[in-house]
Amino acid sequence: MRYTVINVDESRQIYVNAIHETMRGHTHVPTVAVDARDPQQLIAAREKHPYPIHTGLWTPKNGMIGVWYSMLNVWEHGGPIIHFEDDSMIHPNFHEELEKRLAQMPADTDFMSLFLPLDHAHDYTYDKHVTEDLARPYNTYGGVSMYFTERGVEKIMALVKEQGITCQWDDWLYRMARNYRLNGYVPKPTAEPLVSIFVLESFAQNGGMYVG
């Protein structure tokens, strides 16, 4: 299994080390994370990924764009791959639980979230049911950790080229799934949380410098 960790500095290194320890024996793929606090990094990333940034429906902060560029760097690796943000807290039986989740994953999967924002658990309805632990997206955000398939990465990159950047990357991904442009799946509220988060979700959703 290939995986990558997105971290812009060493402030959360203790958490990053824990991720690597849990993933020991799997292939770590380093990803360049774009630190939005550094204008030169943003300029270089914009030159590398010259997709239009549309502002009609949102007011992007530098941190939001930095995360987009970091995720574009992740997708450059191709799939399948798991990405973790540097504030991810992994389930103690992660590998066993992940195998169960992968066994349930539909053949058409483009992405599968390993994280569910707690404030969206009440939004689940049975019409979103797919398997014992998986549902079609009923959340509107939550990009702390995802499994991307090979086909999924190809489709995501094609859609970015088609649409440009229109909102936060995880909001956009779930929107594409709700519109059936992507086949995305998320945990049901009753499923074991494979990945949880260290920082406040409200901070992340409101455009902190580096968010999920």
Asked if 134 contacts 186 with a C-beta cutoff of 8 angstroms, the reply is yes
How do residues 189-204 score in pLDDT, each as one tens digit?
A: 999 889 998 654 434 4
- As a whole number of angstroms, the distance between CA 65 and CA 18 comes to 27
**Cβ neighbourhood burial of 146 (10 Å; 0-12, 13-18, 19+):** buried
Backbone phi, psi, residue 167, to 5° = -170, -175
The helix/strand/coil state of 184 is strand
Q: What is the mean pLDDT of the chain?
A: 92
Amino acid at 193: P
Mean pLDDT of 80-109: 96
Q: Which residues pair with 90 in a beta bridge?
A: 195
| Res. 211: pLDDT tops 70 | no
Share of the chain above pLDDT 70, in %: 93
Residue with tokens 């991307």: 148
- Please tell me the predicted confidence (pLDDT) of residue 170: 97
- Please tell me the predicted confidence (pLDDT) of residue 209: 37
Q: What is the CATH number of domain 2-205?
A: 3.90.550
Number of residues assigned to the chain = 212
- As a whole number of angstroms, the distance between CA 11 and CA 201 comes to 18
Domain range summary for the chain, segments of one domain joined by +: 2-205
| Res. 27: pLDDT tops 70 | yes
| Res. 148: pLDDT tops 50 | yes
How do residues 172-181 score in pLDDT, each as one tens digit?
A: 999 999 999 9
Among 28, 69, 64, 32, CA closest to 47: 69
- As a whole number of angstroms, the distance between CA 110 and CA 96 comes to 21
Q: What is the DSSP string of 17-79?
A: HHHHHHTTTSEE-------TT-HHHHHHHHHHS---B--SS----HHHHHHHHHHHHHHTT-S
Report CA-CA distances (Å) from 98 to 17, 23, 65, 94, 145: 20, 12, 30, 6, 12
Structure tokens at 18: 């824990």
In 10 A of CB 51, how many CB atoms? 16
